[in-house]
Chain A
């Protein structure tokens, strides 16, 4: 079977062969437990981890001691938010986040609400950005944490983190960001951005699955989180569990490659993305979702009105993409991110996300354009809504039998 063209790099990225090469010895001859202090096997593993910690720290502009390795961004989000809530509950119980956050943040906040937290979920503007005045107004003396993602996984918009952290700090709260989609793709500097805690993952930047990290600030202010995993006291007591040495080495190498290649790669990818997006946007009744100025270089999210996203993906079986359509989930609810931009349900159902990556070629983008155009036209021929639109019927005036 011919492999489809992979344009779902926001879901996961392929492992870079250079990362794999760095990891391999740590599965076999360098198999030691990094916590074994009394023999060479342990020292070699620890050296690998230390080096990886340096590579990670260099990418985000922090010190090695501020990097806590986890099983991924979901665990890092949980550790940050639950850990801060437990550590600082004497100071207050209020957390501010946004409706477009990843479920790892939203569901963690929901969990804390059952344990006495008060959570404010900020809405977003049409372009997906939060309103800074609204954030400012939501701050209270009880606010201990503001958690706003760096770049959105569905539409790619980049929140004004520097301004957000300034507001949080002005009111004495910590600023946490889920930067899973941003780290390695655009310059992220925890000091310049005023970040106190930051979650990210290896497998979104050409590293392996099952490993990620939480940045925890150690100076100005010194941030503490209550551990969520008890045991041997690894990672400065914040995250017990034998270190996933090959994974951590892979994360380190992935960070190094991103740091060295990010600048040229971002230019290349945004060029390809713009070509894809502007060509497809020339089609009748197609809409680009989210802010197009402040966003990640590799994401395009487009709605093709009057065709349904899952049906569209089926017609584009040569492309591996993702859709905000309800039909891809069991809930029959379309993407909550797109709906929070004020998109109508039918446009949310009609959306396709293209996520470009390091191994995406211009030839693939040209093919993706042709495949999409053909599929959209085919499905519109089948679509009663398209026919009605063409006849000038106002679809909003029809009484639909909701089911």
Chain B
């Protein structure tokens, strides 16, 4: 299968690879997927004043599309408020990266990782976790 140019670009030059201090109360960490399924994403956000995401980092075990999806997600997250981040939809990622149908689950995983990181941050800061729709898988 041929990859889109954008997938190849994110794959070859992944943005925001790395690790934030998961114990900091300003950091939310989402770890989604499973090694048995061939995809694990860890996405982290650092939240500053006014609920603005000041930094985002990822590490991903998975295929090229999974790596590209999470790299793109970190790019989109920076500078967004948490509410704005919650509105990122997996189909936006599919469209931007021109993912084929068989790779849609990679974008779903990235959306899950974003929401999971936000929830981790919310719970750490005494807020309720947002109930996530189990619309996929």
Residues of A within 8 A of B (CB): 306-311, 314-315, 325-327, 330, 332, 334, 344-346, 349, 381-387, 395, 398, 400-403
The answer to whether residues A311 and B63 also contact, given A384-B42, A387-B19 and a CB cut-off of 8 A, is yes
A242 to B29 CA separation, bound complex (whole angstroms): 65
B64–A314 contact, CB under 8 A?
A: yes
What residues on B are CB-neighbors of A308 within 8 Å?
Answer: 38-39, 61-63, 66
A365 to B34 CA separation, bound complex (whole angstroms): 33
Q: Which of A327, A349, A382 contacts B17 (CB 8 A)?
A: A382
A194 to B6 CA separation, bound complex (whole angstroms): 56
A385–B3 contact, CB under 8 A?
A: no
Q: Give the bracket for the number of chain B residues in contact with chain A.
A: 20 to 34
Q: Which of A310, A349, A400 contacts B64 (CB 8 A)?
A: A310
**B102 lies within 8 A of chain A by Cβ:** yes
- Name the residue among B32, B37, B66 with the largest chain A CB count within 10 angstroms: B37
B34–A325 contact, CB under 8 A?
A: no
A398 to B38 CA separation, bound complex (whole angstroms): 15
A-B pairs with the 9 shortest C-beta distances?
A: A400-B34, A346-B35, A345-B36, A384-B42, A310-B63, A384-B59, A314-B64, A349-B38, A327-B63
B63–A325 contact, CB under 8 A?
A: yes
Distance from A398 Cβ to chain B, minimum over Cβ atoms (Å): 8
B61–A307 contact, CB under 8 A?
A: yes
18 further A-B pairs in the complex, CB-CB below 8 A; given A332-B37, A384-B59? A307-B61, A308-B38, A309-B38, A314-B11, A326-B37, A327-B38, A327-B63, A330-B102, A332-B38, A334-B38, A344-B36, A346-B35, A346-B38, A382-B17, A382-B67, A384-B60, A395-B35, A401-B32
Q: Which of B42, B63, B108 contacts A314 (CB 8 A)?
A: B63
A382–B59 contact, CB under 8 A?
A: yes
What residues on B are CB-neighbors of A345 within 8 Å?
Answer: 35-38
What residues on B are CB-neighbors of A306 within 8 Å?
Answer: 61
A403–B137 contact, CB under 8 A?
A: yes
B105–A385 contact, CB under 8 A?
A: no
B59–A387 contact, CB under 8 A?
A: yes
A384–B40 contact, CB under 8 A?
A: yes
Distance from A196 Cβ to chain B, minimum over Cβ atoms (Å): 41
6 contacts between A and B (CB under 8 A): A306-B61, A310-B64, A332-B105, A384-B59, A387-B19, A403-B39
The answer to whether residues A384 and B37 also contact, given A311-B63, A314-B11 and a CB cut-off of 8 A, is no
B31–A384 contact, CB under 8 A?
A: yes
**B82 lies within 8 A of chain A by Cβ:** no
What residues on A are CB-neighbors of B79 within 8 Å?
Answer: none
B34–A402 contact, CB under 8 A?
A: yes
Distance from A1 Cβ to chain B, minimum over Cβ atoms (Å): 13
What residues on A are CB-neighbors of B66 within 8 Å?
Answer: 308, 311
What residues on B are CB-neighbors of A344 within 8 Å?
Answer: 36
Distance from B26 Cβ to chain A, minimum over Cβ atoms (Å): 20
B36–A400 contact, CB under 8 A?
A: yes
Q: Nearest A residue to B62 by beta-carbon distance?
A: A308
Q: Nearest B residue to A344 by beta-carbon distance?
A: B36
What residues on A are CB-neighbors of B64 within 8 Å?
Answer: 310-311, 314
